[in-house]
Amino acid sequence: MSSSILDILDGAVRAAFEDLGFPAEFGAVRESDRPDLAPFQCNGSMAAAGLLKKQGEKSNPREIAGRVVEKLQSHNAVAGLEIAGPGFINITPSEDLVADRANQLVSDERAGALKAEPKKIVIDYGGANVAKPMHVGHLRSAVIGEALKRLMRFRGHQVIGDVHLGDWGLQMGHLISELQEEQPDLIYFDKSVTDGFPETSPVTMDDMARLYPAASAKSKADPERLKLSQQATAELQSGRPGYRALLDHFIRISIEYLKNGYGELGVEFDLWKGEASVDPLITGMIEDLQKMGITEESDGALIIPVDESYDAEDRKGIPPVMLRARTGAVLYHTTDLATLIDRKVEINPDLILYVVDQRQALHFDQVFRAAVKAGWYQRDQLEHLGFGTVNGKDGKPFTTRDGGVLRLADLTKMMRDAAAKRLEESGIGQDFAVEERADIANKVGMAALKFADLQNQRTTNYVFDVDRFTAFEGKTGPYLLYAAVRMKSLLRRAAKNGITDGPIKITDKAEAQLLLSLDAFDRAVANAASKRAPHILCEHIYRLAQSFSRFYTECPILADQTPDDIKASRLSFTELALRQLILGLEIIGIDVPEHM
């Protein structure tokens, strides 16, 4: 695959600036702010004039722009150059360049997207907790993490997704102690038994969802009850066999349940590791850190200072990493550090991305500093990619009507139901069989949910609004699905009428505009990947759908009056647009139905 139209123009304009004795970067070309005038522009003349002025020379940006234009006048990549305002250069590519590029894109399976130099990347996302039902708070990490995983894979990287379950803290002690209160005779609580525990779990997911909140509520009200949970946690962490056997059941049952929940969102993990899985590394890790001399004792706890300016008195600066509490328990910092060792040994990644709520930013800053201090990683190998919260219309985190936690399963059902209602109202797919209708409603509902999430800048909060998300008009998932399905049905109709595709010819403004939209795919993919920003790709997909829609309205494709070679060209356009749209949607985790 060769360069995009923008890249070719960029190269030409840079060379012109250089020829005139200016730094090449003044010739940078970008998409125009006024696409009605020309698709591309270069603003370097102003900077060039600024430079001359600094050197005490006569400087006039329009005059410099004039000299650049003169240099480029006969270049075969440009059709039009205009100087506007104080010295902007508006650039229109030549028809030959556009048509050549179009035919390259048509024959490219990846619709123009190049690959990056491959890296090995771990993405830590999902982060659900064992024994707890999935709720709305788990949505964004799953959706954003999955999109980044697919995006990085599409760029050619080797990517390993790890769910990193929360399964090692006080919540496990709550569960164990509450189960003991309920069923004290279970063999797991008999200290004299050290192996041969039953294969089947004594609890179901529903049991756990009941036991955990009960224990947690009791512990809040009663310090003695809390002590039982803490005691159970400590014994679990120091390896009491009955408790370990229980934990294994909890984890297994939870994973079964979570696979379903994530599966409904189309989210799949390569690794189902968690905090508990790095327990065997912790003792050795703490010894190593102590030998390095980077740990300190503080009030009976073991810490790693990660900010020399931290003042324990007024708590200013970055607080230390807590390796071990005074009680002997290990903490969230400890398991994340041990996980970094595990990943180094097992995978040795170039990069680790953590897709976790923005509210955990300090936690990751501390962990990363400690890992760098220990010499395990370079700082630029570790990135926390935070995200904002999903809010209700009142601006507060989204809950159920009575203020309770909204389960993820209820949320996805809400989306499916809303999508089904929309489809019915719009009279779409009403003559399909029941199962197909349900499948379409599911795809529309999930597209609505995911696109509404991913189109936002990752770090901002957004308001959950089923009606807006499921609309077929506007910047929504359903609009994009509708666009893709329309292309599919057009291609089916063409095939039925024996019309085949052929070389692209640009005969209309809407075609040229569609081609320029298509040609921005590689840029969008590369930028979304390097900025870890799926919304950049969402923006591209949306613009592509809009350009196609305009093309579809203004350029009759299968109509009798359209000459055969133009029909063939427009079919190629449609195939290319569909291929690119599907690639883009796949990256953000959206499936396209056959019909709608």
Residues that bind ligand ARG (CB under 6 A): 124, 127, 129, 164, 166, 336, 354, 356
Task: Locate 232 and state its tokens.
Answer: 């159970």
Would you say 92 or 129 has its CB closer to ligand ARG?
A: 129
Task: Write out the E strands in 125-175.
Answer: 158-162
Pairing of strands 88-93, 78-84: antiparallel
Residue 129 C-beta: closest distance to ligand ARG, Å: 5
DSSP per position, 412-469: HHHHHHHHHHHHHHTT-STTS-HHHHHHHHHHHHHHHHHHHHHTS-TTS-EE--HHHH
The region, left, alpha or beta by phi > 0 then psi within -120 to 50, assigned to residue 131 is left
**Residue 260: C-alpha distances to residues 254, 269, 525 (Å):** 10, 12, 30
Residue 168 C-beta: closest distance to ligand ARG, Å: 10
Q: Which of 441, 464, 468, 479 is nearest to 585 (CA)?
A: 479
CA dist., res. 151 & res. 111, Å (int)? 15
> Could you tell me if 264 and 281 are in contact, meaning their C-beta atoms sit under 8 angstroms apart?
no
Would you say 140 or 505 has its CB closer to ligand ARG?
A: 140
Residue 254 C-beta: closest distance to ligand ARG, Å: 12
CA dist., res. 50 & res. 339, Å (int)? 52
Would you say 355 or 537 has its CB closer to ligand ARG?
A: 355
Residue 356 C-beta: closest distance to ligand ARG, Å: 4
Would you say 123 or 504 has its CB closer to ligand ARG?
A: 123
Q: b or e along 473-497 (b: 16 or more beta carbons within 10 Å of the residue's beta carbon)?
A: eebbbbbbbbbbbbbbebbeebeee
Backbone angles phi, psi at 274, to 5 degrees: -160, -170
* Radius of gyration of the chain from its Cα atoms, rounded to whole angstroms: 29
**Residue 347: C-alpha distances to residues 27, 274, 344 (Å):** 43, 15, 6
Residue 354 C-beta: closest distance to ligand ARG, Å: 6
Backbone angles phi, psi at 348, to 5 degrees: 50, 60
Would you say 39 or 127 has its CB closer to ligand ARG?
A: 127
Helices (H) and strands (E) in the chain, counts: 20, 13
Residue 578 C-beta: closest distance to ligand ARG, Å: 37
Cα 230 from chain centroid (whole Å):
37
Would you say 17 or 354 has its CB closer to ligand ARG?
A: 354
Would you say 144 or 481 has its CB closer to ligand ARG?
A: 144
CA dist., res. 569 & res. 95, Å (int)? 15
Would you say 129 or 295 has its CB closer to ligand ARG?
A: 129
- Tokens 């075969």 label which residue? 76
Would you say 356 or 545 has its CB closer to ligand ARG?
A: 356
Residue 367 C-beta: closest distance to ligand ARG, Å: 8
Residue 453 C-beta: closest distance to ligand ARG, Å: 18
> What angle, 0 to 180 degrees and rounded to 10, lies between the N-to-C axes of helices 279-292 and 332-346?
90
Would you say 189 or 368 has its CB closer to ligand ARG?
A: 368
Task: Locate 219 and state its tokens.
Answer: 């512990």
Would you say 168 or 189 has its CB closer to ligand ARG?
A: 168
